């Protein structure tokens, strides 16, 4: 059962159109197309253009720049899920001889591999890819700027390496693997490595005059996995729905949740601005809302795909100018307009089909020291543990099938939760990564670290 039905309300549609109209006019871009996805379905598309009597639609291609990185990351996670690699593997294990082999695959995905931001020589986005036929040409004489894992430093060559890794393990070109394993299963028929008509032309708009200059369109060669793709508002809307919900033919929902989890140590300025990088995706904050996706740019083009997981709303914005409107605020505002004007209607509450009596026994109030926590069993089969009141460490846990549970998020992500029983079978306490949770504060019958004063609780005498 869907939580949304029908089209957006007329007032919402007008507000969306107004937002992109302002962006196109004030950003002085030849054209701008946008789309909004809600509950996995495209519910609105719009466009503005400088060409009278003609406007691009959701089937017109634009270059999407670094949104390509998210597609590349999906291919890497597929290899991980199949067991062909581990994210903790050093690149050298699978792709030897690059000079950056000590960097792990996860570090390359998260831009913490220590690599430079750009390639040596002429700017790769405005020069033909055959100037860099080999990985050595992409990396240059100084392939590492800092030791891997130390800091976040956005690296386009890092994704060229990931593309080469995909080719090595699949025995086929990055383009062929992408088409076979992602584009075709998801029905992204208007997403391609090279432009296919109808497509927009890329333009540079003069900063001080209302005149334009065409930008060159280059095949990026080895750098293609970092930014080569062309796509449409319609295809990116379908891709956004996949990034939110998963598709067993391509990548499971839990692997996509992993891709959306912050994975990089950021500079203080990034943290202060609410920016974080994950595994091929970015997290940004605007107006109190957390958005995940990616931005992109190449000479003549700007692109943005952003998703609010909480609101189940995604937005796509594409423009064909080098320095036109900032598209992240545009996409973020499109999400906000829909989320605030037509807030998500929760799915009906439904009880569990069946409940394990031994698990029900564990629900209720627990204490870590004097801090009160509640353990709940939810309809999705997970266990949640969090403070009874106020703020504090909380997490959901997934059953391991052996009477233990593994934390899914926050401080307890990856930690093991288990119920420890006495010889008579009664529950003594919960153990969570060495933290002892008891039914009473400092329960003298449980192995509280440091022990419990034998004289017990007392007043001031």
pTM of the model: 0.88
Q: How confident is the model at residue 3, as a pLDDT? A: 38
pLDDT tens for the chain, 461 residues long, are 233 445 899 999 999 999 999 999 999 999 999 999 999 999 999 999 998 877 899 999 999 999 999 999 999 999 999 999 999 999 999 999 999 989 999 999 999 999 999 999 899 999 999 999 999 999 999 999 999 998 999 999 999 999 999 999 999 999 999 999 999 999 999 999 999 999 999 999 999 999 999 999 999 999 999 999 999 999 999 999 999 999 999 999 999 999 998 887 666 666 667 889 999 999 999 989 999 999 999 999 999 999 999 999 999 999 999 998 999 999 999 999 999 999 988 888 888 888 888 889 999 999 999 999 999 998 888 999 999 988 889 999 999 989 899 998 889 989 999 999 999 999 999 999 999 999 999 998 899 999 999 988 999 86
Give per-residue pLDDT as tens, 107-159.
999 999 999 999 998 999 999 999 999 999 999 999 999 999 989 999 999 99
Q: Which tokens go with 449?
A: 């670290």
pLDDT tens, residue by residue, 47-101: 999 988 778 999 999 999 999 999 999 999 999 999 999 999 999 999 999 999 8
Written in H, E and C, the secondary structure of 256-319 is: HHHHCCCCCCCCHHHHHHCCEECCCCEEEEECCEEEEEEEEEECCEEEEEEEECCCCEEEEEEE
357-437 matches 26-341 in CATH topology? no
Instruction: Report the candidate in 332, 343, 263, 339 with the shortest Cα–Cα distance to residue 295.
Output: 332
Q: What are phi and psi of 259, to 5 degrees?
A: -65, -25
pLDDT at 55: 83
Report the run of H or E that residue 348 belongs to, with start and end.
Answer: none
**Two tokens, residue 231:** 């796509």
- Residue 366 to residues 245, 257, 397: CA-CA distances in angstroms? 34, 29, 16
Q: Is the CATH number of domain 357-437 2.40.128?
A: yes
Provide the residue ranges of all domains of the chain, joining segments of one domain with +: 26-341, 357-437
Residue linked to tokens 């950021």: 266
Domain spanning 26-341, CATH class? alpha beta
Q: Decide: 145 and 158 in contact? Cβ < 8 Å.
A: no
Task: Name the residue among 316, 350, 327 with its Cα closest to residue 38.
Answer: 316
């Amino acid at each position: 059962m869907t939580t949304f039905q029908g089209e957006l309300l007329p007032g919402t549609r007008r507000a969306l159109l107004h937002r992109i109209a302002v962006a196109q006019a004030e950003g002085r871009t030849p054209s701008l197309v946008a789309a909004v996805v809600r509950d996995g379905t495209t519910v609105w598309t719009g466009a503005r253009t400088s060409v009278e009597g003609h406007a691009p639609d959701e089937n017109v291609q634009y270059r999407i720049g670094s949104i390509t990185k998210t597609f590349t990351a999906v291919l890497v996670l597929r290899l991980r899920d199949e067991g062909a690699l581990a994210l903790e593997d050093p690149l050298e294990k699978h792709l030897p001889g690059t000079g950056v082999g000590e960097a792990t695959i996860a570090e390359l995905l998260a831009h913490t591999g220590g690599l430079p931001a750009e390639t040596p020589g002429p700017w790769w986005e405005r020069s033909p890819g055959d100037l860099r036929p080999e990985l050595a040409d992409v990396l240059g004489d100084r392939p590492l700027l800092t030791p891997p894992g130390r800091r976040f430093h956005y690296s386009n060559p890092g994704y060229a390496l990931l593309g080469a890794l995909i080719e090595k393990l699949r025995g086929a070109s990055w383009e062929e693997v992408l088409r076979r394993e992602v584009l075709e299963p998801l029905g992204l028929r208007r997403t391609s490595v090279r432009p296919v008509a109808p497509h927009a032309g890329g333009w540079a708009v003069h900063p001080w005059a209302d005149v334009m200059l065409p930008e060159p369109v280059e095949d990026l060669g080895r750098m293609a996995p970092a930014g080569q793709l062309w796509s449409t508002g319609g295809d990116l809307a379908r891709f956004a729905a996949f990034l939110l919900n998963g598709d067993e033919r391509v990548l499971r929902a839990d692997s996509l949740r992993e891709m959306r989890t912050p994975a990089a140590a950021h500079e203080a300025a990034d943290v202060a601005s609410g920016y974080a990088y994950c595994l091929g995706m970015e997290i940004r904050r605007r107006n109190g809302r957390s958005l995940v996706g990616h931005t992109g740019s190449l000479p003549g083009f700007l692109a943005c795909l952003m998703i609010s997981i909480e609101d189940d709303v995604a937005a796509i914005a594409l423009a064909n100018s080098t320095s036109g409107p900032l598209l992240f605020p545009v996409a973020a505002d499109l999400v906000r307009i829909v989320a605030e004007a037509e807030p998500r209607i929760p799915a009906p509450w439904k009880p569990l089909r069946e409940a394990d009596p031994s698990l029900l026994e564990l629900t209720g109030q627990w204490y870590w020291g004097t801090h009160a926590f509640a353990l709940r069993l939810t309809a999705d089969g997970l266990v949640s543990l969090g403070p009874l009141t106020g703020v504090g460490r909380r997490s959901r846990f997934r059953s391991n099938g052996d009477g233990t549970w593994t934390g899914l998020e926050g401080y307890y992500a990856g930690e093991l939760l288990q119920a420890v029983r006495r010889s008579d079978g009664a529950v003594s306490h919960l153990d969570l990564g060495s933290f002892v949770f008891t039914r009473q504060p400092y329960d003298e019958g449980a192995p509280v670290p440091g022990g419990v004063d034998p004289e017990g609780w007392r007043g001031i005498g």
